[in-house]
Chain A
Amino acid sequence: MTKLLQWLFGVSLLGALWALVTFDLLDLSLPQTYREVAWPMPFYLLISFGCYSLATVGYRVATFNDCEEAAKELQEQIKEAKEDLRRKDTAEFSSCAGRRSLVECSATFEEICSLF
């Protein structure tokens, strides 16, 4: 059963139950209070869900971790990597004068790193 069908099924079930109680469809002669409580239920549930959603999303945005440490660590490792590659690159390509070095390709990294 797809999620859509599950929802339709669930909503239909609840809807039927609600109509049953509110409009006394089976002539069950329920006490008036039941009907009074049942009648605005869909509205209340919708509002409750709306509040729950806002509260949940709000909480999650507020507690969304900011990874300052990770960004710093990355920046340092980028420097380390470039140094290491510079060494490896020169060793490998000292005989291949025509090749561009790996590190030249990372030259614009300085620009990006300076943003941090």
Chain B
Amino acid sequence: MSGDKYSVLLPTYNERENLPLIVWLLVKYFGESGFNYEIIVIDDGSPDGTLEVAEQLQKVYGEDKILLRPRAKKLGLGTAYIHGMKHASGNFIIIMDADLSHHPKFIPEFIQKQKEGDYDLVSGTRYRGNGGVYGWDLRRKLISRGANFLAQVLLRPGASDLTGSFRLYKKKVLESLVEQCVSKGYVFQMEMIVRARQLNYTIGEVPISFVDRVYGESKLGGNEIVSYAKGLLMLFATT
């Protein structure tokens, strides 16, 4: 414990329904583990009133636990992290999705892993150990594994899950990485790992389960695949 504090960055866009639930789960698991924490909600002007919900959660859980760093409109994930980190008082940052695909129960495991090896970053992996996914059909799994294999061959990154976005970083490490990364979407998360490798940061892994409940609404289309390939080639050629 010894003065470690964990800031959870939650970029949100139209998460009015999920936000209370993810916060409740975070409070539950952090409470049980005894670690010091804060939750920073970075809402990009959600039209569904996510920010209102966040304000109500502040009243329930306290302004020291729930911080709001809203933005006027939908901007990139990288800038969301930078924006969120500015007033983060923790020395560790946890990034995760706010749509309940990432489960806070893994956070104590991340923290444990980090302490084990004093890792600069700990990445949640769906591909190793008992990590896995719920809600994906064969096509989706094939694309996921195929894309990951390609990235492993080309980039040899030393981490099994490159596009995952459930991670724990030392604050200084995240700050230095976000400055350097230029990509968007899946490629952004890949670039973070690749650049971390370049800078000789140590990476630990924890198997996680990813419960995809939006897959039915937003299938992985040709556009995403093309932009992933482009991003991969960019990283291949520049790192």
Contacts and interface: CB of A to CB of B under 8 A. Distances in A.
A84 B144 CA distance: 37
22 contacts: A3-B156, A3-B237, A53-B149, A57-B146, A60-B127, A64-B132, A64-B136, A64-B141, A67-B134, A67-B210, A70-B103, A70-B134, A70-B209, A70-B211, A77-B25, A78-B100, A81-B21, A85-B60, A89-B60, A99-B56, A105-B16, A106-B20
B237 A100 contact: no
B126 to A, nearest CB: 8
Where chain B touches its partner, the secondary structure class is: helix
SS class, residues of chain A in contact with chain B: helix
B31 interface: no
Given A61-B138, A67-B134, A105 B17 contact: yes
A112 interface: yes
A71 B211 contact: yes
A89 B49 CA distance: 17
B27 to A, nearest CB: 10
* Chain A interface size, under 10 / 10 to 19 / 20 to 34 / 35 or more: 35 or more
Which 7 residue pairs spanning A and B have beta carbons closest together?
A65-B132, A70-B209, A67-B209, A81-B24, A67-B134, A71-B134, A60-B145
